[in-house]
Structure 1
Amino acid sequence: MDKSIFIGMSGAKQTMLAQQAHANNLANVSTTGFKRDFAQARSMPVYGEHFATRAYAMTERPGTDQSAGALVETGRDLDVAVNGDGWLAVQNEGGEEVFTRGGSLQLDVNGLLRTSGGEMVLGNGGPIALPPFEKVQIGTDGSVSIVPVGGPPSQLVDIDRIKLVNPPPGGLEKGEDGFLRRSADAALEGPEPADGNLRLTSGFLESSNVNAVEEMISNLQLSRQFEMQVKIMQTADENAEVSARLLQNL
């Protein structure tokens, strides 16, 4: 069998992985704070004693588009959006500190401030917990203030401050849970330090940075590429059959 069939096979595999990435982007076009993923592959020559006529497709570590999405006004007190660079620091189910731009916050029955997915929002000393209140207010610096139950509207009490972080963009990678975290090469010994220069906008949410039309076009292009790779495999198989018949007739 002509080993060129493996060339088409590796190309088809990488095309399918790229289709999955773009399909996931398209599925999250309405997800608050979602950052679209890139799909990337490169040619990898086959090593050994042979002519340089074969190159396989090899996956490279995919990246994430960290550009900001548009701000959408909601008017809700617990909705926040990060202005410019930066991330909200939250704690996932495994107790790990991870980063997100999804600022649709809510309170559980214990008064803990959580994301829409249930992750605890971190403050100066850990997860933020609010006592019973009449009204809650989140400032531009991330400070969380409340009007206590029975208190006058002008009586604002500072409870905590949402932890905002700004790690270097090149040192971040997205996990399978959809949250960003520092990569192994850029990991810190302790928790990520808070950045006091970052700002929030209350009553707004950041939309996904996915362009639906662009993702649909990319999927169509990848579909054509997949058909081409399958054609290569079919041609290689046909060539192998012809070669076998010729050898039988010798």
Structure 2
Amino acid sequence: MDRLIYTAAGGAARILEQQSVISNNLANLSTAGFREQVAIYRAVPVEGPPGLPTRVATVTSTPGSNMRQGVMMETGRALDAAITGEGWFSVQTPEGEAYTRSGEFAVSAEGVLVSRQGLPVLSDDGMPIEIPDRASISISGNGQITALGAGDRPDALQALGRLKLVNPPVDGLERGDDGLFRLTGGAVAQADPQVRMVAGFVEKSNVNAAEAMVAMIANARQFEMQMKLIQDASSNAEHANSILSVS
């Protein structure tokens, strides 16, 4: 088969892979704390018989995420929280501790503070945080959670714990299939007292809708170009066969 077809087909496959990443970013446009995933092309050597050391192919890779901060949106909910600047909230998953920027917290049926995904939110001692029934909750700028029971005096605040706020090196974080980040090798980050947050706000996704739409359109045009190359290769082959054929 014409080598042009292999080249064009490989390019089309890479474009479709990148398009799926862009589509996922757009799908999470309204997901609090979402970090835009970055997709790039990179060259890889072709594995095969010796004698072709210059042959290369391309693959789509997702080397990291865009870590710029999203827009802060005021919600007024006492359980909503947003980190200002760098840092992460800590949650407990079946695979271990993970980190997120999403602060849309709620109280589970068991009375435990959980994330939007229903995962227990961890305190700075690595334990889930229990919330008293019908208590009025407030969260301070350093993550300290206090509760005021129904009918209690304003000075009868009860300390429930402090959110585990961490700030590990960005290059040491890996994005999981669940959208959460984890330290490479399964390590656990230590609480960082310098991380600050604000209650009653959530951080929106940092995906720029206009930029993502432009990227999708550009990818679509590139895909059409690859398809046109395949059509041209097929047409060239037909013309060549007609010339060589014996009438």
The TM-score with structure 2 as length reference comes to 0.91
Taking the TM superposition and a 5 Å limit, the aligned residue runs for 1:1-250 are 1-44=1-44, 46=46, 48-50=50-52, 55-92=56-93, 94-123=94-123, 124-184=125-185, 187-188=186-187, 191-249=188-246
Task: Give, as a single letter, the amino acid of the residue that structure 2 aligns with 1:218.
Answer: A
SS at match of 2:154: coil
SS at match of 1:193: coil
CA separation of 1:19 and 1:28: change in aligned 2, threshold 3 A: same
What is the alpha-carbon distance in structure 2 between the residues aligned to residue 195 and residue 55 of structure 1?
A: 45
> 1:6-26 CA deviation, whole Å, 9 max, x = no partner?
111111111011111111111
Shift of 1:131: 2.2
SS at match of 1:228: helix
What is the alpha-carbon distance in structure 1 between the residues aligned to residue 167 and residue 240 of structure 2?
A: 61
SS at match of 1:60: strand
Deviates more, 1:73-82 or 1:153-162: 153-162
SS at match of 2:102: coil
CA contact (8 A) 1:2 1:239 kept: no
What is the alpha-carbon distance in structure 2 between the residues aligned to residue 165 and residue 51 of structure 1?
A: 46
SS at match of 1:77: coil
SS at match of 2:234: helix
What is the alpha-carbon distance in structure 2 between the residues aligned to residue 50 and residue 162 of structure 1?
A: 56
CA separation of 1:113 and 1:95: change in aligned 2, threshold 3 A: farther
CA contact (8 A) 2:15 2:223 kept: yes
What is the alpha-carbon distance in structure 2 between the residues aligned to residue 199 and residue 111 of structure 1?
A: 25
Task: Give, as a single letter, the amino acid of the residue that structure 2 aligns with 1:2.
Answer: D
CA contact (8 A) 1:7 1:57 kept: no
Task: Give, as a single letter, the amino acid of the residue that structure 2 aligns with 1:207.
Answer: K
CA contact (8 A) 2:139 2:145 kept: yes
**What is the aligned residue count?**
244
CA separation of 1:126 and 1:38: change in aligned 2, threshold 3 A: same
What is the alpha-carbon distance in structure 2 between the residues aligned to residue 152 and residue 111 of structure 1?
A: 22
CA contact (8 A) 1:140 1:201 kept: yes
SS at match of 2:171: helix
Q: Percent of counterpart pairs with the same letter? A: 39
CA contact (8 A) 2:18 2:60 kept: no
CA separation of 1:232 and 1:43: change in aligned 2, threshold 3 A: farther
SS at match of 2:17: helix
CA separation of 1:36 and 1:243: change in aligned 2, threshold 3 A: same
SS at match of 2:145: strand
Task: Give, as a single letter, the amino acid of the residue that structure 2 aligns with 1:107.
Answer: V
Shift of 1:61: 3.5
> 1:201-237 CA deviation, whole Å, 9 max, x = no partner?
0111101111111111110000000011112222223
The TM-score with structure 1 as length reference comes to 0.90
CA separation of 1:125 and 1:9: change in aligned 2, threshold 3 A: same
What is the alpha-carbon distance in structure 2 between the residues aligned to residue 12 and residue 175 of structure 1?
A: 26
